[in-house]
Structure 1
Amino acid sequence: MPKKETRSERIVAFISNATKIGFSALKLFLLLFFAFLFIGTFASISPGGLGDGNVAVIPIEGLITTGTSSAFSAAANSKDIVELIEDASEQKRIKAILLEINSPGGAPVATDEIASAIQSTNKTVIAVIRETGASGAYWIATAADKIFANRMSVTGSIGVTASGLEFSNFITEQNITYRRLVAGKYKDVGTPWRALGNEEQKLYQDLLDTLHEQFISSVSKNRNLPEEKVRELATGWVYLGSEAKELGLVDEIGGRKEALTYLEKSLNITAEPVEYSKPKTFFEELTKMTSEGFYSLGQGMGSSFSNQGISLT
């Protein structure tokens, strides 16, 4: 007759089995994680395949940065985009470049790098604003020869921000002291651990005003609009595509299809689009899937808090 297990033996056996299952699940998770990491890293350094076609379609999606590509990056970095524009410019079969924009803006330097690359190419460049082409992304769009936007696209937002949080009162209430050690009296300007002084506030504002003037000047020149008119619109507020067309901020209401039709008529070609982009990594695709559900809720907060530095968002 088999010996009956005691209650303690059953508990030990249960824990042992659960531990084995847990370790198996952990090993499977780690295996999948490192497999995805390898695939993502490989994709981030592998060149994208470019098929036949005569209109290079280059996406500008997400926050515009100067950062280099990585397996974990889901932003539009200027280095990649400039390289794609330059590559398309060197291809004889490419007759035009179509920028598909869906971005709230980003860093001033990254924005200027992309806009300069657009203005340097000898190809016709069309910007198509999809959901959003605001602030720095709109600045980039103005460098194109023509701008198309959906009637509900979010455009404009001609402004600059360097907003951030400040916790000086909080740390005082918690009896925490900010020990300030700097060489150069402005070295820690913008730290969240102390309030800005009046002079520091003015320095920040002067810097923002200078960038804002450059933004206004570029839009005025690129869009052939009087500077005073652009200044009136440059409040940082956004305009839907239909209103932006009336204000002269975009040229036509439409998307890729309408842009390709325009190119066919203006260049006397049969437009054949070819996707010019670096392969998306696993993490970029994962970020895209998770972020889309929270886009409407988080967009305003993201524009305010995504960068503690100066940003065209």
Structure 2
Amino acid sequence: MFARRHPYLFFLLTSFSIFTVFAIGVMGMAMWMSRSTDDYQGEAVGVIEIDGAIASARETIENIRHFREDDDIKAIVIRINSPGGAVGPSQEIYREIRKTTEKKKVVVSMGAVAASGGYYIACAADGIVANPGTITGSIGVIMAYTNFKQLLDKIGMVPVVIKSGPYKDTGSPTRQMRDDEQELLQSIVSGIHQQFITAIAEGRKMDRVLVEASADGRVFTGEDAKKRGLVDRLGNFEDALEWAGMMGGIDGDVVPVYPREKKLTLLRYLLSTSITRLISKVVYPDIEAQYRYLPETF
């Protein structure tokens, strides 16, 4: 009777009820999935995942620090599935892992790819486990940008630049790069490349000459990387977890513990859409003219 007299109100109430039930269900699922180190008892191994391009180090560093200070976490596994990324964040994560190895054992588990910046991070650990077909290596630095000068010339557009010094607009896409500018940028790339080699030599305790032999930017399979001394063992995530547990002195089964933030992926997925991701790409596009630990193929 009520539905017949007030069809629109009935529709609104029904829709609101369904939305409320859905929202409560999502929140409950998120809370259930967000269990972290507070929900277990005994000794465990902390697991931190690094997925995708490396653009920020803050969350990863916070998770590493949290596990380092938790006495019930006996060792840490860093699961890397990344083609690399920005130089600064890669170096920050590397440094945090190095500090952590002074107190706890850290093992890296490589997924499908752990190249360039992904490998930079990995070589800070006490041990590296890779799949035979993992794509890794790509020890190098790249800077890339697109030049639009010829296109602008064709359509009659003339850029006007006012600058405080001769190098302020180095890398501008609207003009050809001068020889002295190219030499300047090349020197910076070469310097960062040497930092990469030094980090590997120190982290892996390898002879610098051996590192340089593999540091020409090429990628390796996990099997090839092991032959070159770039990884320690071949195996999957479970093998890395077991090894970390042994290094941490854990007897019996190893309990993996994930950071709370990483368990909210379902909620983030439900609240995100392809449209918002597309808008993010358009409004905040990747800046190409920057130094990156990233293979050109990715």
TM-score (norm 2): 0.77
Partner of 1:64: 54
1:276 is aligned to 2:259: yes
Q: Distance in 1 between matches of 2:219 and 2:76?
A: 26
| AA aligned opposite 1:159 | G
Q: Distance in 1 between matches of 2:134 and 2:34?
A: 29
The alpha carbon displacement at 1:174 in A equals: 1.4
The alpha carbon displacement at 1:260 in A equals: 2.2
- 1:127 corresponds, among 108, 127, 140, to 108
Contact kept in structure 2, 1:126 and 1:147, CA below 8 Å: yes
The alpha carbon displacement at 1:207 in A equals: 0.2
Alpha-carbon RMSD: 2.7
Partner of 1:90: 69
The alpha carbon displacement at 1:185 in A equals: 1.8
Q: Identity across aligned pairs (percent)? A: 32
Contact kept in structure 1, 2:76 and 2:244, CA below 8 Å: no
Q: Distance in 2 between matches of 1:103 and 1:185?
A: 37
Partner of 1:222: 203
Contact kept in structure 2, 1:58 and 1:277, CA below 8 Å: no
Alignment gaps of 5+ in structure 1: 1-27, 66-76, 292-304
TM-score (norm 1): 0.73
Q: Distance in 1 between matches of 2:119 and 2:258?
A: 21
Partner of 2:230: 249
Contact kept in structure 1, 2:136 and 2:219, CA below 8 Å: yes
Change (3 A) 1:176 1:284: farther
Q: State how many pairs are aligned.
A: 248
For residues 39-50 of structure 1, the aligned pairs below 5 Å read 48-50=34-36
Q: Deviations over 1:99-140 (max 9, x none)?
A: 000001111110111011111111110000001100011010
| AA aligned opposite 1:116 | R
For residues 1-313 of structure 1, the aligned pairs below 5 Å read 48-50=34-36, 51-52=39-40, 54-65=44-55, 77-121=56-100, 122-269=103-250, 270=252, 271-276=254-259, 278=261, 279-280=264-265, 281-282=268-269, 307-313=288-294
Q: 3-state DSSP class of the match of 2:195?
A: helix
Q: 3-state DSSP class of the match of 2:79?
A: strand
Alignment gaps of 5+ in structure 2: 1-14, 279-285
Q: Distance in 2 between matches of 1:240 and 1:285?
A: 34
Q: Distance in 2 between matches of 1:229 and 1:136?
A: 19
Q: Distance in 2 between matches of 1:167 and 1:62?
A: 29
Q: Distance in 2 between matches of 1:167 and 1:149?
A: 41
Q: 3-state DSSP class of the match of 2:175?
A: coil
